[in-house]
Amino acid sequence: MKTLIITIFLFLTLVSANFAQIVVSADGPISSLSEAIELADHGAHIVVESGTYRESQILITKKVTLTGVDLPVIDGNQSGNIFVVRADSVVIDGFKIQNTGRSYIRDYAAVLIEGVSDFEIKHNQIDNVFFGIYLAETKRGLVTNNTIHSYDLREASSGNGIYLWSVEDPVITHNTVSGMRDGIYLEFATNAQIYDNISNHNNRYGLHYMFSNGGRYDRNQLRQNGAGVAVMYSDDVDMTNNRFEHNWGSSAYGLLIKDIRNSTISGNRFYRNTVAIYSEGSTNVDIHGNDIELNGWAVNIKSNSARNRFTDNNFIENSLDVRTDSPRNNNFFDGNYWSHYEGYDLEGDGIGDVPYRPVSLFSMIIERQPESLILLRSMFIRLLDSAERIMPVLTPKTLMDENPKMQRISRIL
């Protein structure tokens, strides 16, 4: 009996030790996060009271849940990483994390997660950092509702907001990233789920895929980034319902796709970008049901792109519709709405009776003499374009939409 009581007592103390809450506060007995983690057992819940904690290289090597109360500030004092996660299933929730170190050799991050799985990084405000959230060789894991902002306007010396390197199945949602080099950068990531993020005003790309296959990015807002969004050397990516807006510059694109295959671009809105969609060496990509409005060029497709299908898109008042560098055409345009279409529909079936040729003579003139851009929308140019459309001589003969819609395609929301 006595032994039984002792056994139960021991068991209870063990349990309570395991699931104990450790409280960190600036003026309490435990005043540093590193100390709390040191004391904590596997699975412990560490509650951090509000206040400012000047700490960096906070090494997490056991499964813990870190929760901030009223956004405590973790200030890395411009040295090293701030959180380094090296255990599975760690949760970091509700901190203001600021001032990482900066280096030309090491990628210091507000939160560095290496070689682990199933973490949750959420509701943090990350400010003035080199890299924001850095995932390396992780599996699964969730990064959600974080805000990342920094102030270095130079592309070379700024880091990425959310950086994924060699990861599997990451979920990145509802984050807001600005003022970084790339807002969200995926290298060798597989099956990433990137939803509902806002990535604006970054120095290079709002979202950047390299060698990252599978997965989907959906409902993200990607606005006013230095070079827009780039998806390169990646296959089977679904790009849906995003907003690519206001990406301006001589090498800025709403969406740049380079050497990608078998992907889908649909339901997106491209608005006021210098080039809405730029394609180089991409094959078998479905560009379907997008609204492409008021961009400089709606599509710039290099001749090494093939078997891409542009269907059911609305091309609305783009300064120029399609640009290409070859008289041959290996891509397919069908059933789009082109606001520049001047044809007629005698049959009344909602489809224009004459094909639309989206490559205008003027866009080829600009190619040769870029200064002539100043003549955009000139009556003289419109006459030239109309003549060329009736009797194509210089523009690609086979690049045309045989079934141009007469009316803007409405989208059911």
Partner 1 sequence: MKLLTHIVKNEWKSLLRGKWVIGYGLIFLLLTDSLLRFGGGGAETLLSISNVMLLFIPLVGMIYGILYIYQSKEFVELLLTQPINRRVLYWGLYLGIATPLMSAFIIGAALPLAWHNILLLDGSSAALVLGLGGILTLIFVALGFVLGLFFYDDRIKGFGFTIVIWLFLAILYDGLILLMVFAFGNYPLDRFVIIVSMLNPIDLARILVMLEFDISALMGYTGAVFNRFFGSNLGILVSGGMLAIWLALPSWIGLRVFNKKDF
Per CB under 8 A, residues contacting partner 1 are 246, 248-250, 252, 272-275, 293-297, 316-317, 319-320, 339, 365, 368-383, 406-408
Strand runs (DSSP E) across 49-100, as ranges? 52-54, 58-60, 64-68, 73-75, 83-85, 91-93, 96-98
Minimum distance, C-beta of residue 273 to partner 1, in the bound complex (Å): 6
Minimum distance, C-beta of residue 300 to partner 1, in the bound complex (Å): 9
State the residue for tokens 């005698």: 346
Instruction: Answer whether 126's CB lies under 8 Å from 110's CB.
Output: yes
Measured from the CB atom, is 102 or 223 closer to partner 1? 223
Q: Which tokens go with 86?
A: 């090296």
Measured from the CB atom, is 374 or 413 closer to partner 1? 374
Give the C-alpha distances (Å, rounded to integers) separating 191 from 222, 251, 386. 20, 28, 46
Measured from the CB atom, is 102 or 389 closer to partner 1? 389
Cα(226)–Cα(249) distance, integer angstroms = 7
Measured from the CB atom, is 95 or 341 closer to partner 1? 341
Helix (H, G, I), strand (E, B) or coil at 77: coil
Minimum distance, C-beta of residue 392 to partner 1, in the bound complex (Å): 19
Q: What is the DSSP string of 152-199?
A: ---TTT---SEEEES-BS-EEES-EEESSSSSEEEES-BS-EEES-EE
Measured from the CB atom, is 170 or 358 closer to partner 1? 358
Provide the pairing of β-strand 314-316 with 291-293.
parallel
Measured from the CB atom, is 189 or 257 closer to partner 1? 257
Minimum distance, C-beta of residue 293 to partner 1, in the bound complex (Å): 7
Minimum distance, C-beta of residue 335 to partner 1, in the bound complex (Å): 16
Q: Which tokens go with 152?
A: 């270095």
Minimum distance, C-beta of residue 373 to partner 1, in the bound complex (Å): 5
Minimum distance, C-beta of residue 186 to partner 1, in the bound complex (Å): 26
Measured from the CB atom, is 233 or 248 closer to partner 1? 248
The radius of gyration computed from the CA coordinates of the chain, to the nearest angstrom, equals 27
Closest CA to 326 of 274, 377, 396: 396
Please tell me what DSSP assigns to residue 351. Answer: B
